[in-house]
Amino acid sequence: MSKLERPEVVVVTGASAGNGRAIVRAFAKRGAHIGLLARGHAGLEGARRDVETLGGKPVVIPTDVSDPAQVEAAAEQVEETFGPIDIWVNDAMTSVFSPAKDMTPQDYQRVTEVVYLGYVYGTLAALKRMMPRDRGRIIQVGSDVAYRGIPLQTAYSGAKHAIQGFTEALRCELIHYNSHVKISMVQLPGCNTPQFSWCKSNLACFPQPVPPIYDPDVVAEAVTYIADHYRRELFVSWMSIIVIQLNKFFPAFADWYLGKTGFASQMTDKPTSPHRPDNLYHPADEERDYGARGVFTDRAYNRSFQVWLDTHPGVLALAATALMGLLGFALVRRRQ
C-alpha cells in the first residue's frame, strides 16, 4: 500500500498482457487504483479481474497508444475516476521479427508509432498533469536493445533507442526546471511474454527471446521498486550490463558476433504456423486472454540477482566498504 493517505493512482499502458500485465498485478497487490490501457478486450477484462481479485481498483480504457488523442482522453478519464495520477508506466509495445530486407515502410511506421511515439504521448499526458502539481513518477519500460541493436528486430531496436534518447533529454529538462517529477527507465532482457506468439513474424521458425530469459514478475518487482525509490535507470539482468559495457569498447566485435549468432539465437526449431496471430495493426487478445506469461516458462528465471542488488544498495555499499577495508589491511600488513 502506498505511503500516501489515499491509494496511489497508477496508469499502465500495455496492461493487458506480458510485462504490463505483471506490473498491473504488482500494483494491485499494493491496493492501487489503476488505469488499464491496451487494445484487446479479453486481455483488458482479464487484467480488470486480476486487479479486483488482488485488492486494487481498476478502470478499463481501451486505448491505442499510437493515437495521442486516445492517450490524452485516457489520462483524463483516469483522473476523473480516481484523482491525480501518481505513477505512469509506459509499457505498450509491438514488434516485427524479420530481416530488414523483408520489412515494409508501413510496418516500420507502425512499430515506431506504438513503441516510440506511444511512450512520448504517454509521457506528455503524464507531464501535463504532474508538472503543475510538482510531483509524480514516469517509468519507461525499456530494453537492452536501447543500447545494443540486434538483428531481426531493426524496427524495435530503433524505437527503443529513440525512447532512451527522449528520456535522457527530458530528464535534463526536468532538472532545469527544478521539478520534483521524476522519470526512470527499467531496461529489460529477454522475457517470457506472449509477444513471441503474437508479434508479426516473417521468420520461417517460431521466434524466441535471447537467453537468459526472465519471468514477467521479475520485471514487475523492478518497476514497483523504482516507483518508490528513484533511480534514473535500473537493469533487470547482469548480462545486460556486461553486453552494454562490452559494446562500448568492442562495438565491431559485437556487430560480428551478433551477425553470426543473432539469427539462430532468436529462433526455435519449431516452424511458424500459418495461423499465427498478428497484433501489429489489430489486437491479438480481442477474444483470448493471453495473460502475463508466454510459452517459455520452463526456461525463464523467476528471480534476478541483478534486481536483488539494485533493490538492496546498502548491502552492495557494505560489501564494497568491506572489500576496501580488506585491501587496505592487506597493504598495511605487506609494508610491515
Report pLDDT for 50.
98
Determine the number of helices (DSSP H) and then strands (DSSP E) in the chain.
12, 14
Q: Domains for the chain: give ranges and CATH numbers.
A: 9-303 (3.40.50.720)
pLDDT score for 1:
47
The model's pLDDT over 60-77, given as tens digits with 9 standing for 90+, comes to: 999 999 999 999 999 999
Looking at the chain, list the stretches that DSSP marks H as alpha helix, in order from N- to C-terminal side. Answer: 18-29, 41-54, 68-82, 105-111, 118-133, 154-176, 195-198, 216-228, 238-249, 251-261, 305-311, 313-335
> Each residue of 127-182: pLDDT tens digit?
999 999 999 999 999 999 999 999 999 999 999 999 999 999 999 999 999 999 99
Beta pairing class for 87-90 and 9-13: parallel
Cα atoms found within 13 Å of the Cα of residue 144, Cβ hemisphere only = 23
Supply the residues annotated as catalytic. 156
Cell of 286: 480481442
Q: Supply the mean pLDDT for the chain.
A: 93
How many angstroms separate the CA atoms of 114 and 119, rounded?
8
C-alpha–C-alpha distance, residues 178 and 176, integer Å: 5
Per-residue confidence (pLDDT) for residue 320, from 0 to 100: 58
pLDDT confidence of 334, banded at 50, 70, 90? low
Q: How many angstroms separate the CA atoms of 192 and 327, rounded?
A: 42
**Three cell numbers, residue 332:** 598495511
CA dihedral of 196, 202, 204, 206, whole degrees rounded to 10? 0
pLDDT, tens digit (0-9, with 9 covering 90-100), for 207-257: 999 999 999 999 999 999 999 999 999 999 998 889 888 899 999 999 999
* Interval 98-113: pLDDT, tens: 999 999 999 999 999 9
Is residue 4's pLDDT more than 60?
no
